[in-house]
Chains A and B, each alone.
Chain A
Amino acid sequence: MKNSLKAEFKKLLTVRTTYFISLFFLVLVGFLAFYVDGFKNSPPETLGALGQAKATLFIAGNLTQTASIISVAGGFIGLLLLAHEYRYGTIIYTLSASTSRTKVLLSKIIAVLVFTLVYSAIATTIAVVLMKAGASASGHSLPAQDVNYLTYVAKSVYYAEGFALGGLLFAALIRNQIGAFAALFIIPNPVEGILSLLLKHDSVYLPFTALQQVIQPPAIRGVTAAHADTAVSGVLSAPKGGLVFACYLVAAWLVAWYLFLRRDAA
């Protein structure tokens, strides 16, 4: 297991794709946080509860946006860790050098989880700092906010981990890079979007819609959504949404694990 883990981290860190994707999305997060959110769109200082609520929602919105962006990076990196093995045939070395396919799969999951954890934590921190720097550069100073940053970082990390494991899952099930990318792009939005037309309110129980609930900015206590302009609460609470998604993920991974054991190497 230790050897497999070491190898998986080496695989992640010895291809330029990892660096390219990580850097590209970090730059995007930084640009949107500093320029678009902080510099251009930060709310002018308003006194009182309304000002505090606006500032809180502004930061929450920025963190939600950051989570959405880094989840794409996590999904890509998770997907490529396995899809590249099938595409380039290195899976034959990975499987023949290991005594257990379960250990191989587990090592990949752990490597993706750890990488995404570190990456999303760094990206979220950068986003907050740059957003505040952007607001400051535009001459706005945000009033005191009621933001639990730790919770937001945790939610961002969970959301990004969800997509990273989703990407890895699609690669494990489909074993084809293009097919896995197509699934990662199509299932969370178009497919679930169409299904939501049929399921209406129950669509929040669809996997990626449920995951979306984790990072929805909550309505601020004591301030209505109308006052706060942008607040839209998910139908499920963040923990419930996370749990629903986790159930789907576990079930799908059990299928992927079974197939990984039973299928030929490529």
Chain B
Amino acid sequence: MIEAKNLIKKYGDKLAVNDLSFKVETGKVTGFLGPNGAGKSTTMRLMVGLDNGGGHTTYDGKVLDTYKQPSKMVGILLEAKAFHPTRTARNHLSVLAAQGGMAQSRVNEVLDIVGLASEATGKPGKFSLGMSQRLGIAAALLGEPKYLILDEPSNGLDPEGIAWLRQFIRDYAKEGRGVLISSHLLSEMSQLADNVVVVGKGQLITATSMDHLIEGSGVSVFVRSTTQAGLEKILRAAKLNFKKKDDGLLVSVSKTDVVGQLAHSKNIVLLELSPHMASLEQAFLELTEGKAEYEASTKDVRK
């Protein structure tokens, strides 16, 4: 298990990461969510000792630099374009393999895994963002690490690439390894992460399971009827909260049965009755409300 404890990072007077603690379990994918400027990347850099700050991070109970080969404990992808543009992909990985004390034969293996074998002699400077991400993932996998820390790895990947990455990360976690992955693609995260750590302005907002995060934001029932006025009347009588949504109503109850039975008792014809799970975006926006570092103006910019 990775345990980040009381991580702190200051830039001058500004606290970028404020006493942040959380865990990354083995066998699970942990999503790392937060608005822009929330301190996600800084936290990841602190976790692998790239930045100096307060607190510490342990990997299976020990700090990273006590391991003889840190690359075998954790693989990182923090920047997609972290390579020399004219050093070939194979040489780039070969340098990293030498640095981490890995066998050179591993280079071709990881190129195969990420689907870049045919580009092994290509210069990464000419790679697309998606190919660069694949090279970054290959670099992270070189040491067959127990943990992966990936900062927005799906950026620039095409749909096929995203599907591959999703499956790969799931399989990786299933092998008993741990993955911490940040992403701004929240819908993507809802399909991938088992647990989620949400941060805002450098502070922990919540660390919970993905299911709990979505459920916690409220489950409601969407109902559409031919006689909406009548439906509203019986909902008020039953003291149920609701609000209009599109051409129907969103009722604050967890089960469709309640609304269905009420409508049936008054002979109201329903055209649609379905559970409405809050999207991760909704849950995320509710949680991080007021915690965004940079918020766009709501003023209409059109003149």
Contact = CB atoms under 8 A, between A and B. Distances in A.
B301 interface: no
B95 A99 contact: no
B50 A92 contact: yes
Interface in B69-99: 70-71, 74, 76, 78-79, 81-88, 91, 94-96, 98-99
B48 A7 contact: no
Interface of A is mostly: helix
Nearest to B42: A264
Nearest to B82: A89
Contacts, number: 84
A226 B2 CA distance: 75
Interface residues of B, number: 34
Interface string B171-183: 0000000000000
B95 A264 contact: no
A95 B98 contact: no
B106 interface: no
A97 B70 contact: yes
B264 interface: no
Interface residues of A, number: 28
A98 B99 contact: yes
B226 interface: no
Given A6-B98, A7-B99, A97-B99, A16 B65 contact: no
A99 to B, nearest CB: 5
Nearest to A94: B99
A4 interface: yes
Contact of B52 (A15, A93, A98, A262): A262
B51 interface: yes
Interface of B: 45, 48-52, 64-68, 70-71, 74, 76, 78-79, 81-88, 91, 94-96, 98-101, 139
Interface of A: 3-4, 6-7, 10-11, 14-17, 84, 88-90, 92-100, 262-266
6 contacts: A3-B99, A14-B95, A84-B84, A92-B45, A96-B76, A97-B70
